Amino acid sequence: MNFDGAKNVDHSDPLVDVLNSGGQGRVVLLCEHASRWIPDEHDGLGLDAEGLTSHAAWDLGALELSIALAKALDGVLVTSKASRLVYDCNRPPEDPGAMRDQSELISVPGNIDLSQEDRDARIRSVYEPFCSAVDGVLDKRSSDTVVVTVHTFTPVYFGKYRSVEIGLLHDDDSRLVDAMLTHTDKLPGVIVARNEPYGPQDGVTHSLKIHAGRRGLPNVMIEIRNDLVRSAKQVEQVAQQILALLLPALEQIESKDTFNE
C-alpha cells in the first residue's frame, strides 16, 4: 500500500516523509509513531528482537491506516520515519516520555542516562524536522483545515485487556470529536470512546495542541486497538469505520462555521 509515484512523497528530510504532498482535501494527517526504524548510529538502543518489534517501538498498523485515510480524503500525510524510542514526536523535548528508558514492560538500555548533548541531537534530528514539516504543510493551508493524528494501541497493557476499539482523543478543542461521536450509530457493535485508552492527562495531545490548537483548527487524535489493523483487509475496514464518523462530522463543522459568519 503506497502512493503511486515518488513525486507524491517528499523525502527531503531523512527522518520525515510528507506523503501526498499535493493533496487537496481538508484533512491533514499526522502519524508520529509510523515507524520502528532506529538509525544505525543508535545501535538498536540496546533492544532485543522483541523490543525492536513491539508496540513500544511504534504503532503497528498506524502507517497503513494513515495511508488508507490519506487516499480516501486526498489528505497530506506527515510521518516520522524514526522509532518513537529514538524520539517520540508526540512529546515535547522536556517530557521524560520523549526519549523514554522504559515503555510498559520493555526497558530501553540506549535511553538510560542520556546526556543533554545526546538529547539535543535527537531533538534536532527527529523532533524539529517533524514539526517543521507539519508547519510547512499547515502554514500554507486555509482556516477550514482539520488535523487528524493516527495512532494504534496494544490490546493488553500491564496485563489488563482494553475493550475500546476506536478512541477519539481531544484536548481543549472537542468540536470534531463531539461531532464524530454523534455518528457512532453508524458503527453498530464497534466500541468507540472519548479520550480512551488515553487522554490529555497522559500527555498525548502534544501534536494536537501545538499544530492544530495553536492555529484554531479542529482536530482529533484517533487511537485504534492494534489487533484490528493487522491485515490489509482489516486496515481498509477500520478506515471505512473512521470515515463513517469523520466525513459527516466534517460537514457539521463546515455548516456551523458558515452559519456563524
Least Å distance between CB 30 and Zn ion? 10
Q: CB under 8 Å to 149, separation ≥6 — which residues?
A: 29, 30, 31, 32, 90, 207, 208, 219, 220, 221, 222
- Interior/surface letters 108-128, b for 16+ CB within 10 angstroms, e for the rest: bebbeeeeeeebeebbebbbb
In this complex, which beta carbon is closest to Zn ion, that of residue 28 or of residue 253? Answer: 28
* Residue matched to cell numbers 490519506: 70
Of 149, 8, 181, 3, the closest CA to residue 84 belongs to 149
In this complex, which beta carbon is closest to Zn ion, that of residue 58 or of residue 253? Answer: 58
Q: CB under 8 Å to 258, separation ≥6 — which residues?
A: none
Least Å distance between CB 251 and Zn ion? 28
Distance CA 176, CA 8 (A): 28
Residue nearest to Zn ion (CB): 151
Least Å distance between CB 219 and Zn ion? 15
Least Å distance between CB 242 and Zn ion? 15
In this complex, which beta carbon is closest to Zn ion, that of residue 26 or of residue 33? Answer: 33
Length of the chain: 261
Residues 221-240 that bind Zn ion (CB under 5 A): none
Backbone angles phi, psi at 161, to 5 degrees: -80, 140
In this complex, which beta carbon is closest to Zn ion, that of residue 148 or of residue 253? Answer: 148
Which positions from 20 to 59 touch Zn ion by CB under 5 A, shown as an x/- string?
-------------x-------------------------x
In this complex, which beta carbon is closest to Zn ion, that of residue 45 or of residue 85? Answer: 85
Distance CA 217, CA 138 (A): 10
Residue 151 binds Zn ion, judged by CB under 5 A: yes
Least Å distance between CB 4 and Zn ion? 27
Least Å distance between CB 150 and Zn ion? 8
Residues 56-85 that bind Zn ion (CB under 5 A): 59
Number of residues interacting with Zn ion: please give it, by CB under 5 A. Answer: 3
Backbone angles phi, psi at 12, to 5 degrees: -65, -20
Residues in contact with Zn ion by CB under 5 A are: 33, 59, 151
